[in-house]
Amino acid sequence: MKSRRRTVLTALGETPAPSTVTTAATVTSPPAAGVAPASNTALYANPAWTEGIDWVRRSGRAPADGRSAAGRAPSPRSTVVAPHGGGIEGGTSELCLATAGYDPADLSPTPPAGPVHGFWMFEGLMSSGNADLHVTSTRCDDAIARSLCADSLNVLALHGCRPEQAGLEPGAAAVLVGGLNPTFRRYLVEEFTAAGIRAVTASGEEEIAGLSPRNICNRTRLGMGAQLEMTTALRTAMFAEGENTLATRATGLLPFFWTFVDATRRAIDRLEAEQTPL
């Protein structure tokens, strides 16, 4: 399982080619384990955790947008990120891969005809204590994540939350839609609602609403993106009973998982269809 989770995809064309990505990270006086990291850079430098054992990064760059304006370098239109994947906010890694166009179990293009979007994930791999690896979205400074987002017109960030964090009733199964792009937010709410998924426009604290320009979802070429906060009950309904674990989620997907992914991808498709390349 860990060997599959160490795979890093770099899309060079229609088919992504596996490769390894390393990012130098240097910081003085790294934080101690058990203390929330101040940034990804600080986390990577913390000797209490080891890349590939306690945490891993996976990413893939989508094919360039062939519609780019004359005289400008082509760039991907959309990137999907899961800053708290793996065992940190369960289910967000699998949703990130599927929304980007990859089967979470074997990384094959899904659907085969695409489209394939860029993606980046930071994943906790520990048997417990993964919450210690949580870096808030406004402090996400991973060089690859920043580069992918800055080169994309749109970014969708996927997160997990508890209902009480979102001001919802206990046990609520819902997705809160935030971020600075109002059109993207509207399309997401419309597509989720049409699919029978309870969708609420996020408000309140930045962690849920995603309204800070420093939030990784808003670090796009347009300076705005979207963020999904999915409650525990909503994510639990996506995986077979007994299969909602770090080791088994990718192969325990229920139809509702794909219903959610399809709605998300339709919203992205609508947004891309009306955008003029920069």
Predicted confidence at residue 66, as pLDDT, reads 52
Predicted confidence at residue 242, as pLDDT, reads 78
The encoded tokens of residue 82 equal 């899961």
Predicted confidence at residue 35, as pLDDT, reads 62
Average pLDDT of the segment spanning 108-112: 90
Predicted confidence at residue 64, as pLDDT, reads 62
Q: What is the CATH number of the domain that holds 55?
A: 3.40.630.100
Predicted confidence at residue 215, as pLDDT, reads 97
With 50 as the cut, is the pLDDT of residue 80 above it?
Answer: yes
Domain of residue 80, residue span: 2-8+37-60+73-273
Mean pLDDT, the chain, whole residue set: 84
Structural domain contains residue 109: yes
Average pLDDT of the segment spanning 40-49: 96
Q: What are the tens digits of pLDDT across the range 174-226?
A: 999 999 999 999 999 999 999 999 999 988 777 889 999 999 999 999 999 99
- Select the highest-mean-pLDDT range: 2-6, 183-187, 273-277: 183-187
Range 247-254, long-range pairs (CB < 8 A, 24+ positions): 247/1, 249/90, 249/91, 249/93, 249/94, 249/104, 250/94, 250/104, 250/105, 251/105, 253/94, 253/104, 253/105
Structural domain contains residue 183: yes
Structural domain contains residue 44: yes
Q: Taken in order 162, 166, 57, 267, is the CA torsion positive or negative? A: positive
Structural domain contains residue 177: yes
Structural domain contains residue 18: no
Q: How many domains does the chain have?
A: 1
Chain centroid offset of residue 259 CA: 17
Q: What are the tens digits of pLDDT across the range 244-258?
A: 788 899 999 999 999
Structural domain contains residue 191: yes
With 50 as the cut, is the pLDDT of residue 6 above it?
Answer: no
Structural domain contains residue 27: no
Q: What are the tens digits of pLDDT across the range 113-165?
A: 878 999 999 999 999 999 999 999 999 999 999 999 999 999 999 999 999 88
Identify the residue with better confidence: 207 or 92.
92
Average pLDDT of the segment spanning 87-96: 97
